[in-house]
Copies of this chain bind each other. A is one copy, B any other.
Amino acid sequence: MRRWDTRRAAKAERIAAAQPYATGKVVDQQRLIDLLHNVIRPGDRVALEGDNQKQADFLSRTLVDCDPARLHDLHMLISSVSRTEHLDLFERGIATILDLAYAGPQSVRIAQLVEDGVVRIGAIHTYVELYARMFTDLAPDVALLCAELADADGNLYTGANTEDTPTIAEAVAFHDGVVIVQANEIVPTDQLPRVDIPGSWVDLVVTADRPFALEPLFTRDPRHIGDVEILKAMIALRGVYERHQVVSLNHGVGFDTAAIELILPTYGEQLGLKGRVARHWVLNPHPTLIPAIESGWVESIHSFGGEPGMERYTAARPDVFYTGADGSLRSNRVLAQLVGQYAVDMFIGSSLQIDGNANSSTVTDGRLSGFGGAPNMGHDPHGRRHASVTWLDLAHGEGADRRGRKLVVQIAQTFRAGGVPTFVETLDAVAAGEQAQMPLAPVMIYGDDVSHVVTEEGVAYLYKAHSLADRRAALAAVAGVTPVGRGARDVEKLRSDGLVAFPEDLGVPTRLATRSLLAARSIADLVAWSGGLYDPPAQFRDW
């Protein structure tokens, strides 16, 4: 007679084994390590939060101190491998397999550990893929999650950085896994500002030894924006935003898109674009967007996560940001991803390397960084979609085959710092993939999904190319004197055919491309624009 409740029975045993170290759902902070020893089992799949920004670091720091004789061969699912101990788990023999989406600060070490056979990679996913597999063939046995506040029943207040928590909690809570949550504080129920995740989904809560780690990943200091970024921003605004009437959009993170945000109230205003473009956004609360918001450009922003220092500002602008009944920001990575994939007209972001076919990757020599959400945002969903003016502006095909296209824009300078070319014959990712024995090269965004490339030279309208050869030629024409750009041919014909536009073709006055055009030139300017509501983290203050 087959049993059909093995997961439920195992969960009941795990919860029973936790009882010596907990009162109801509340774990004795001093005994967390004993509890983890008793609840987690060798070979378990463990989802550890590991988000883009917030980190369940009390849980990860405690897990890494566990005894590898008791806990070993764990299969870790970590959206963002951000902390030293995420990899220490492997060096200590506690974990062996890793499924991830992103590995920013740990990307060099992870590449080394894979080469050494210490880390076995399941796959490098996008965020939404990794979540999706938690409901399919990678159902976790245990989740180690993170909240700002909890009550004794396990009801959670995530604060502004809701991020991945509800999605992982759902995967685990509704398939008889054990959900363990660290909270900065456990408070009486009536002191929870709101409930982001119901206690029914949570098995155990523990007060963290210190507030969870959170990085200000989306803050760009305007002082580092130079004339070239401003020129690219002007070119993008005229050649893409204005030309295609981009109403809804996602900006990647980087100085190029920060420059665009900062010239909306100046150059954008002069072009008469306010209210016509860039009205609905999906992105984290970028401080560099404050001047555009205050100038009335922005109708709505839905966010993947929060941003340290933007708590009071977002709470004071509820018409723009998504906030709860308590007034504080609510974010949600999986839903923001859907917005970025299906609701908006355009994705625009930067890349470290772009090849002649417009394939791009942030995986460069010796790094295994993953891509987070960019590959999903940076692709044109190929099936049916609702029509928008922008999407239809790129329509192609006839009859039943006719459809529009989401704008996928890559913005980059032809050379990176140190004279390293951005545009290359072959991506480093190809060799990196072979070296790490990956089934495919770790490409971030595929060239055939890219509709536009913007550089300081101009715009390549790749979507207009009828052949791969045309696409390569258009790209080369804006790639400067890089290896790709040196192959440029027939540039005048490309201009007259509209496959390429230079600043003079777009009416962009290059002489205006100076820092005078920035609505804010420093973090202090952003604070002033916010009316004192923005509280920049210490590392961004110089006053």
Q: Which residues of A contact B (CB under 8 A)?
A: 2-8, 123-126, 128-129, 131-133, 135-137, 139, 155, 167, 170, 173-176, 194-201, 247-248, 279-280, 282, 296, 299-300, 302, 316-320, 322-326, 330, 332, 334-336, 338-339, 341-344, 355, 357, 359, 361, 371, 375-376, 378-387, 392, 395, 399-404, 426-427, 429-430, 438-441, 443-449
Contact = CB atoms under 8 A, between A and B. Distances in A.
From DSSP, what is the main secondary structure of chain A's interface residues?
loop
Contacts of A199: 195
Nearest to A138: B343
Contacts of A316: 4
Given A316-B4, A335-B135, A375 B384 contact: yes
Contacts of A387: 123, 438-440
A408 to B, nearest CB: 9
A335 B135 CA distance: 8
Contacts of A300: 136-137, 139, 175
A399 B7 contact: no
Contacts of A384: 126, 371, 375, 379, 443-446
Given A155-B198, A330-B174, A400 B386 contact: no
Contacts of A371: 384
A335 B334 CA distance: 9
20 contacts: A3-B319, A4-B319, A126-B342, A126-B385, A129-B343, A129-B385, A131-B338, A132-B335, A136-B248, A170-B330, A175-B322, A194-B200, A201-B325, A357-B400, A379-B381, A379-B384, A383-B446, A387-B440, A395-B440, A400-B443
Contacts of A438: 387
A343 B8 CA distance: 24
Q: Which 7 A-B pairs have CB atoms at the shortest separation, nearest pair first?
A: A379-B383, A375-B384, A195-B198, A132-B343, A123-B386, A194-B200, A136-B343
Contact of A302 (B135, B355, B429): B135
Given A195-B200, A343-B129, A446 B403 contact: yes
Nearest to A375: B384
Contacts of A401: 357, 359, 446-447
Contacts of A402: 440-441
A163 to B, nearest CB: 14
Contact of A426 (B124, B319, B324, B400): B400
A5 B336 contact: no
B383 A375 contact: yes
A392 B123 CA distance: 13
Contact of A282 (B135, B174, B299): B135
Nearest to A196: B198
B137 A325 contact: no
Nearest to A441: B400
Nearest to A175: B322
B319 A6 contact: yes
A199 B326 CA distance: 13
Nearest to A129: B342
Given A133-B386, A317-B4, A324 B195 contact: no
A373 to B, nearest CB: 10
A137 B383 contact: no
Contacts of A378: 383
A44 to B, nearest CB: 16
A404 B343 contact: no
A174 B197 CA distance: 14
A359 B400 contact: yes
B357 A248 contact: no
Given A155-B198, A280-B136, A335 B167 contact: yes
A249 to B, nearest CB: 10
Given A124-B386, A194-B200, A400-B427, 15 more contacts: A4-B317, A8-B318, A126-B385, A129-B343, A135-B282, A170-B330, A170-B332, A200-B326, A201-B325, A359-B400, A382-B448, A382-B449, A395-B440, A399-B430, A400-B426
